[in-house]
Amino acid sequence: MSQIPYQHLLVDPLTGLELTQLLKLAPGVDCLLPNPHLALEHIATQWHMLSTKLTREIAEDEALLKHPQLHELMRERIQRQVRWQKKFHHQLQELFKNIPAHTKSAYFDKMLQGLGHTLPLTQPLIGHPKNIFRDWSWGAVENQRYLDVVRSRAVGEKKNILVIAAGAGRLAYDLHQHFQADVTFALDNSYFFAQSFQKICFGEGMELVEFPAPSLGDESLAHEHKLVAPSLAREGLVYHLGDLNYLPYKPESFDLIITPWIIDLIPSTLPFLISNISSLLKPQGQWINFGPYSLSADIPSRCRWSQKEIRGFIEEVELEDFEESWEQVEYLKSPHSSLIRQEQMWTFSATKLHSDGRGIQRPQLKESWLIHHDHAIPLSSKVQMSLMSHKVPARVFELIDGKRSLKDIAALMQQEFQMTQAEAQQALTHFLSRWAESG
Ligand SMILES: C[S@@+](CC[C@H](N)C(=O)[O-])C[C@H]1O[C@@H](n2cnc3c(N)ncnc32)[C@H](O)[C@@H]1O
């Protein structure tokens, strides 16, 4: 724990009370997530799992290279791949070196040994990987577009700026430099981005391998980039590892709040975020949003807000002068990838005219036991369903003893789960074939 920079603008993310302690996860990485120690453990576990997965993949490829009948062209490709993977792994090891290697992840170790690659591994640790290359390597056109969007709508001085879901942080950096702000907070819940940002904006930069997907061709399977800010960031630019549902800021702290490419991803908490944005703005402060607004089909219908409803939420919290526009844009267009993503970008801005004295709302977590570790976990129907859906696969793996056939296991499953022999055999074949194909 150390002295807290910008303490006058910060609050405890969980309680909204004065912030008295700040956990630095690494030099320059201020953790304002609720329950930071748990977050650290979680990140360490994710890193442990990712590193284990990369090590295993490299070992599997190296074993393949020992195969005497491997086609020469395939050998060449796998050799190249191994070189890139090793480099990437090494770069991540360097990036995550501040994360303790020995965590309480023995439990995950066991799961890994037992289930191997069938676990949904580590995507969240390095979510949205393209964004870091767009921000700091090949995305000049896109980055300039976002800066221009904000510049064209911003009115007056912007001394205190907040970028919510800042990703790899380029926009926060550009705004901080452009507006000569006193303070710009970039808030995001990605440790990967937080740690990289520190190196890119305040250090010598970092090297990172991009694996473009889908790649343009044989020469584009991987690219190494040097990621570095155009110039050292001015003082006052700070990355906060935090959760937009637990905004760690005092009301009326900001002249400008930006939400880039995020609101469609968090529809269930959007009304609540809009209310908090209004509370966080100073009088005359502006909110500028841009990104797509196409909600995916798996979002429950009750939170598939129409644009009209969103405008309604904005009016309700007395944000005024609403202005909007739509344009079709290319998104995350890597020169090394054959994928060209077109998105309809919805830009709007609104202004808080008067002080309203409203506080920041914090979620009454349904899952309060995730934060308060002495709370009982309710035995809900979701738990029972999850239990069932884990019990069956777990039982299948337990029954594999090196001697039993699929038919033998189906016979045992038939008794245990009251299925017919045909049902058990069919389900087992389906499940095990997907497992076998999974890598
Ligand atoms: C589509 S990316 C956009 C990133 C960035 N705004 C950009 O345009 O490149 C969404 C971002 O939201 C962040 N995010 C998602 N849920 C979040 C949450 N609850 N709190 C903070 N950040 C979150 C992710 O880590 C990711 O960086």
Across residues 288-315, what is the average pLDDT? Answer: 92
- Whose Cα sits closest to atom 5 in ligand 1? 167
Q: Is the CB of 222 under 6 A from ligand 1?
A: no
- Looking at 195-209, 272-286, 423-437, which range is the least confident one? 423-437
Q: How far is CA 277 from the centre of its chain?
A: 21
Task: Using pLDDT thresholds of 50, 70 and 90, give the confidence band for residue 365.
Answer: low
In this prediction, residue 114 carries a pLDDT of: 42
Residue 386 has pLDDT above 70, yes or no: yes
Asked if the model's pLDDT at residue 113 lies above 60, the reply is no
Q: Is 172 in the pocket of ligand 1 (CB under 6 A)?
A: no
Interatomic CA distance for residues 343 and 124, integer angstroms: 23
pTM: 0.83
Q: Say whether pLDDT at 371 is over 70.
A: no
- Whether the pLDDT of residue 95 is over 50: the answer is yes
What is the chain's mean pLDDT, rounded? 88
Distances (CA, A) of 354 to 3, 251, 253, 281, 324: 33, 13, 14, 10, 21
Ligand 1 centre distance from Cα of residue 323 (Å): 24
Among 189, 268, 329, 362, name the best residue to mutate to test ligand 1's pocket (greatest count of ligand atoms within 8 A of Cβ): 189
127 lines ligand 1 (CB under 6 A): yes
Identify the band that residue 118 occupies on the pLDDT scale cut at 50, 70 and 90: very low
Peptide bond into 214 cis (omega under 30): yes
Mutate to test the pocket of ligand 1, among 262, 290, 334, 343 (most ligand atoms within 8 A of CB): 262
CA 388 / ligand 1 centre spacing (Å): 33
Contact 41, 106 (CB under 8 A): no
Q: Is the pLDDT of residue 119 over 60?
A: no
Q: Which pLDDT tens digit goes with each residue over 158-196?
A: 999 999 999 999 999 999 999 999 999 999 999 999 999
Residue at 143: amino acid letter: N
pLDDT at residue 2 is higher than 80: no
Question: Comparing 378 with 124, which gets the higher pLDDT?
Answer: 378
- C-alpha neighbours within 13 Å on the C-beta side of residue 20: 3
pLDDT for 127-154, tens place per residue? 889 999 999 999 999 999 999 999 999 9
Which conformational region is residue 209 in: left (phi greater than 0), alpha (psi within -120 to 50 degrees), or beta? Answer: beta
Question: Is residue 240 within a helix (H) or strand (E), and if so which, with residue range?
Answer: strand 237-241
φ, ψ (nearest 5 deg) of residue 363: -65, 140
Does ligand 1 lie within 6 Å of residue 196's CB atom?
no
- Judged against a pLDDT cut of 80, whether residue 309 lies above it is answered with yes
Q: Which residue has the higher pLDDT, 2 or 301?
A: 301
Q: Is 154 in the pocket of ligand 1 (CB under 6 A)?
A: no
Atom 22 of ligand 1, residue of closest alpha carbon = 188
Mean pLDDT of all residues in 243-264: 96
Task: Return the pLDDT at 391.
Answer: 80
Please report the atom of ligand 1 found closest to the CA of residue 131: 9
Closest approach atom of ligand 1 to CA 245: 19
Share of the chain above pLDDT 70, in %: 93
What is the position in ligand 1's atom list of the atom closest to the CA of 243? 20
